[in-house]
Chains A and B, each alone.
Chain A
Amino acid sequence: MTSTKIICPNGHLGFAPLKPESFHIGVDAKPDFIACDSGSDDVGPGPLGSDTSTSPLAWQKHDLEEMLLASRKLGVPMVIGSAGDTGTNSRVDLFVSIIKEVAKEHNLQKFKVGYFYSEVDKEYLRKKIRSGNPIKGLDERHDLTEQELDSTEKIVAMAGVHPFMTLLEQGADVIIGGRSSDSAIFAAAALSRGHDEANSYYLGKVLECASFCAEPYGGKETVLGEISSDDVLVTAMSPAQSCTVASVAGHAMYERSNPYHEFVAGGMLDMTNCHYQQVTSKTTRITGQTFVHAEEFRVKLEGSGKVGERFIGIAGIRDPYTIENVDKVIEWAKTQVKAKFGEDGYQLHYNVFGKNGVMGDLETVKDHKAHELCVVVQSVAPTAEEAEEICMTGTRQMFYARLEDVKGTAGSVSFVLDEVVQASAAYLWTLNHTVAVDDPMELFPTHLTEAGV
């Protein structure tokens, strides 16, 4: 069997633009696929819950255009997973429309666009719960309750290789995927060419974050993976970067709790016995990976629920006595909020920068020596009006804090703005769970359309 080459120009399409120089070097290497992932749960629960992108449209279009023009020029498939940060249906539709728009702008010859959705209907999960098929929690979460389901706005399922392979079999030239496991995007391409599962999933694992598997550190540069029956080779395309044993092995542990195991829908890539070998200055060879099928086919779910409207206020403190007593200042402000709004039904958070604003309870410096503090006040409430008043009270009352021995009696804090500012609504990750399915395709309906002229 011949080898298959895949290039990946970006670890999160849209979050920052790909670097064209190394991408074009990758394209010149004549890959069999151009693929990348466009999603992440790092962006917080807001985009999924509100069904928006955190990536700017211009950057999404920039990368889709570069990739589409290259893939049509080479006549090889382009594969995108987790469209638009979250992989919801609206993000898939957005990317499909961008592909059609770019194709028209460049008068590209007609080609097939395949896409699939990943959104999960709440009633589907409710039926599972009621029929005794628990939605199992990940990372120590308990099984999903109907109450948690009710408080959820949007749910997406994490696709494995199956919908990508289905669309490749149907001859799609471009695939836009809903929420998907990063590694599955590349693994599906390799599997469709007959490669074995262990090497295919490893190829996906190593390519998913583009140049994060290369050194020196530098994101958004293209890397090239080559898979054969014997091994996986990964090569940095940027003239300034190399894929070294250290950088490739190091990437195996990036963003995951265990560097040996990568779980995907239907199984697990085991990297325990991986062997890494430097074959040229820019290329590392990987062997020894295995793939273990799961006994039960479970699909990961992500869900986000709206908690309320949110405002923020900002206050500064310079008086050393007030800095020493900042907890009392905050307590005073909280008490004023409680007097009007009661004990619950809202949230009021204080991040005190200069004390423990970045780490909260994990902060190891207990005896801080800051000469000034910045306090970020954050309120969450059912309506914007309530959130605004709570935040205003919680911020402005710091100005009126009553400290016994304070010399400055004209105001306890400084303001850069004498106002509070509406922020995006607050959301919560309500689902980090798995559901058992009878058919790997049951949550991922596929569609075909055309683009070009």
Chain B
Amino acid sequence: MSTNQTTRKLTDLAKTIRSKNAGVDKITFDIIFRDQANYDLVKQSESLTRETICKLYGIEDNRISDFVEFDPAYAIKFTIYRDRPSGSAGDPDIFGAQQYAPLLDLDIAIPGKS
């Protein structure tokens, strides 16, 4: 990491950060940017990758079924397997709608101006 590099929170760069069921066995996460500039910034930062997601949520890589950079919507999207099907007894989030919160504070590395 270069000395003049700073970080910004993902919530300050993205327009939408959300999670939702993708079928009964998975939860999918969408991070959508308003413009190409912020989208490219996050893509190039390598701060939002399969590895950083695993670290953030404390999961193994095989819990992630898909990780996609979706250029037409300026979006980064990943999907994880649930530990039990949606709506099973004890499932605290039947719609999977509140699982995105830790992403808000994710630090994104921003190259400094030299």
- Interface residue ranges, A against B (CB under 8 Å): 41-46, 138-141, 245-246, 249-250, 252-260, 274, 276, 302, 307, 310, 347, 349, 351, 357-362, 364-365, 378, 380, 426-429, 432
B98 x A41 contact (CB < 8 A): no
A357 CA to B28 CA, complexed, in Å: 20
A364 x B28 contact (CB < 8 A): no
B28 x A358 contact (CB < 8 A): no
List CB contacts (< 8 Å) of B78-114 with chain A. 79, 81, 83, 85-90, 92-95, 98-99, 101-102
Query: B28's contact among A256, A310, A362, by CB below 8 Å, is which?
Result: A256
- Interface residue ranges, B against A (CB under 8 Å): 16, 20-26, 28, 30, 32, 34, 56-59, 65-66, 68, 70, 72-75, 77, 79, 81, 83, 85-90, 92-95, 98-99, 101-102
8 A-B pairs with CB atoms under 8 Å apart are A42-B21, A253-B30, A259-B77, A359-B99, A359-B101, A362-B59, A364-B102, A428-B88
A259 x B32 contact (CB < 8 A): no
A264 CA to B85 CA, complexed, in Å: 22
Chain B contacts for A360, CB-based, 8 A: 83, 92
19 A-B pairs besides A41-B23, A259-B68 with CB distance below 8 A are A42-B21, A42-B86, A45-B86, A138-B25, A139-B23, A140-B25, A246-B74, A252-B73, A253-B28, A253-B70, A254-B20, A256-B28, A260-B70, A310-B89, A360-B92, A362-B57, A365-B102, A426-B88, A429-B85
Nearest CB of A to B21, in Å: 5
Query: B93's contact among A252, A253, A347, A358, by CB below 8 Å, is which?
Result: A358
B68 x A255 contact (CB < 8 A): no
Chain B contacts for A378, CB-based, 8 A: 89-90
Q: Which residue of B lies closest to A366 (CB)?
A: B58
Nearest CB of A to B80, in Å: 8
A256 CA to B20 CA, complexed, in Å: 9
Q: Which residue of B lies closest to A360 (CB)?
A: B92
Chain A contacts for B22, CB-based, 8 A: 255-257
Q: Which residue of B lies closest to A379 (CB)?
A: B89
A441 CA to B98 CA, complexed, in Å: 39
B86 x A257 contact (CB < 8 A): no
B94 x A364 contact (CB < 8 A): no
Q: Which residue of B lies closest to A140 (CB)?
A: B81
Chain A contacts for B21, CB-based, 8 A: 41-42, 255
A254 x B30 contact (CB < 8 A): yes
B26 x A362 contact (CB < 8 A): no
